Amino acid sequence: MADSLTITDNRTGKSYEVPINDGTIKAIDLRKIKVSDDDFGLMTYDPAFLNTAACRSAITFIDGDKGILEYRGYPIEQLAEKSTYIETAYLLLYGDLPTKPQLEQWNHDITYHTILNENLKSLLDAFRYNAHPMARLISTVAALGTFYPEAKDISDNEMRQKQIQRIIAKVITIAAFNYRHRIGMPYAYPDNDLSYPGNFLNMMFRMTETKYKPNPALEHALDVLFILHADHEQNCSTAAMRSVGSSEVDPYSAVAAAAAALYGPLHGGANEAVIHMLNEIGSVAHVPDFIKRVKAGEGVKLMGFGHRVYKNYDPRAKIIKKVADEVFDVTGRNPLLDIALELERIALSDDYFVKRKLYPNVDFYSGLIYQAMAIPMEMFTVLFAIPRVSGWLAQWNEMLSDPDLKISRPRQIFTGSERRDYVDLKKRG
Ligand code: CMC
Give the alpha-carbon dihedral of 39, 5, 12, 29, to 10 degrees: 10
Residue 375: per-residue pLDDT:
94
Amino acid at 385: A
CA–centroid distance for 73 within its chain: 19
Determine, yes or no, domain membership for 119.
yes
CB atoms within 10 A of CB 156: 12
Tell which one of 50, 232, 234, 266 to mutate to probe ligand 1, the residue whose CB is within 8 A of the most ligand atoms: 266
Catalytic residue, candidates 109, 267, 338, 350: 267
Say which residues have a Cβ less than 8 Å from residue 66's Cβ, sequence separation at least 6: 312
Determine, yes or no, domain membership for 325.
yes
| Residues 242/55, Cβ–Cβ less than 8 Å | yes
Amino acid at 36: S
| Residues 323/218, Cβ–Cβ less than 8 Å | no
Determine, yes or no, domain membership for 62.
no
- Same domain, yes or no, for 139 and 121? yes
Give the whole-angstrom CA distance, residue 190 versus residue 200.
Answer: 8
Rounded alpha-carbon distances, angstroms, from residue 234 to 22, 60, 92, 141: 17, 9, 14, 21
> Is the CB of residue 204 below 6 angstroms from any atom belonging to ligand 1?
no
Return the sign of the alpha-carbon dihedral for residues 397, 398, 404, 408.
negative
Say which residues have a Cβ less than 8 Å from residue 425's Cβ, sequence separation at least 6: none
Residue 327: per-residue pLDDT:
93
Q: Distance from the CA of 236 to the center of ligand 1, in angstroms?
A: 14
- Same domain, yes or no, for 232 and 336? no
Say which residues have a Cβ less than 8 Å from residue 259's Cβ, sequence separation at least 6: 134, 137, 138, 141, 237, 385
Q: Distance from the CA of 307 to the center of ligand 1, in angstroms?
A: 6
> Is the CB of residue 301 below 6 angstroms from any atom belonging to ligand 1?
yes
> Is the CB of residue 239 below 6 angstroms from any atom belonging to ligand 1?
no
Q: Active-site residue 267, yes or no?
A: yes
- Same domain, yes or no, for 286 and 257? no
- Same domain, yes or no, for 229 and 122? yes
Q: Active-site residue 363, yes or no?
A: yes
Q: What are phi and psi of 227, to 5 degrees?
A: -60, -45
Q: Distance from the CA of 234 to the center of ligand 1, in angstroms?
A: 17
- Same domain, yes or no, for 111 and 128? yes
Tell which one of 301, 313, 350 to mutate to probe ligand 1, the residue whose CB is within 8 A of the most ligand atoms: 301
> Is the CB of residue 310 below 6 angstroms from any atom belonging to ligand 1?
no
Give the alpha-carbon dihedral of 328, 330, 331, 337, to 10 degrees: 0
Closest to 346 (Cα-Cα) out of 295, 309, 310, 312: 295
Residue 352 is part of a domain; what is its CATH number?
1.10.230.10
Q: What is the pTM of this model?
A: 0.94
69 forms beta bridges with 62
Rounded alpha-carbon distances, angstroms, from residue 407 to 56, 268, 404, 413: 15, 26, 10, 20
pLDDT by residue, tens only, the chain of 429 residues: 589 999 999 999 999 999 999 999 999 999 999 999 999 999 999 999 999 999 999 999 999 999 999 999 999 999 999 999 999 999 999 999 999 999 999 999 999 999 999 999 999 999 998 999 999 999 999 999 999 999 999 999 999 999 999 999 999 999 999 999 999 999 999 999 999 999 999 999 999 998 999 999 999 999 999 999 999 999 999 999 999 999 999 999 999 999 999 999 999 989 989 999 999 999 999 999 999 999 998 889 999 999 999 998 899 999 998 999 899 999 998 889 999 999 999 999 999 999 999 999 988 999 999 999 999 999 999 999 999 999 999 999 999 999 999 999 999 999 999 999 999 999 998
Determine, yes or no, domain membership for 419.
no
Determine, yes or no, domain membership for 361.
yes
Amino acid at 69: L
pLDDT in tens, 194-244: 999 999 999 999 999 989 999 999 999 999 999 999 999 999 999 999 999
> Is the CB of residue 268 below 6 angstroms from any atom belonging to ligand 1?
yes
Q: Distance from the CA of 225 to the center of ligand 1, in angstroms?
A: 22
Residue 100 is part of a domain; what is its CATH number?
1.10.580.10
The domain tally of the chain equals 2
Determine, yes or no, domain membership for 320.
yes
- Same domain, yes or no, for 224 and 295? no
Determine, yes or no, domain membership for 231.
yes
- Same domain, yes or no, for 143 and 82? yes
> Is the CB of residue 320 below 6 angstroms from any atom belonging to ligand 1?
no
Residue 334: per-residue pLDDT:
86
3-state secondary structure the chain: CCCEEEEEECCCCEEEEEECECCECCHHHHHHCCCCCCCCCCCCCCHHHCCCCCCCCCCEEEECCCCEEEECCEEHHHHHHHCCHHHHHHHHHHCCCCCHHHHHHHHHHHHCCCCCCCCHHHHHHHCCCCCCHHHHHHHHHHHHHHHCHHHHCCCCHHHHHHHHHHHHHHHHHHHHHHHHHHCCCCCCCCCCCCCHHHHHHHHHHCCCCCCCCCCHHHHHHHHHHHHHHCCCCCCHHHHHHHHHHCCCCCHHHHHHHHHHHHHCCCCCCHHHHHHHHHHHHCCHHHHHHHHHHHHCCCCCCCCCECCCCCCCCCHHHHHHHHHHHHHHHHHCCCCCHHHHHHHHHHHHHCHHHHHCCCCECCHHHHHHHHHHCCCCHHHHHHHHHHHHHHHHHHHHHHHHCCCCCCCCCCCCCCCCCCCCCCCCHHHCC
Closest to 360 (Cα-Cα) out of 48, 50, 67, 61: 67
Q: Distance from the CA of 161 to the center of ligand 1, in angstroms?
A: 36
- Same domain, yes or no, for 131 and 165? yes
- Same domain, yes or no, for 233 and 349? no
Determine, yes or no, domain membership for 48.
no
Residue 1: per-residue pLDDT:
57
Q: Which domain holds residue 227?
A: 74-266+385-400
Give the whole-angstrom CA distance, residue 149 versus residue 281.
Answer: 49
Catalytic residue, candidates 307, 338, 350, 402: 307
> Is the CB of residue 294 below 6 angstroms from any atom belonging to ligand 1?
yes
- Same domain, yes or no, for 178 and 82? yes
Amino acid at 344: E
- Same domain, yes or no, for 192 and 260? yes
Q: Active-site residue 108, yes or no?
A: no
8 forms beta bridges with 15
- Same domain, yes or no, for 334 and 367? yes
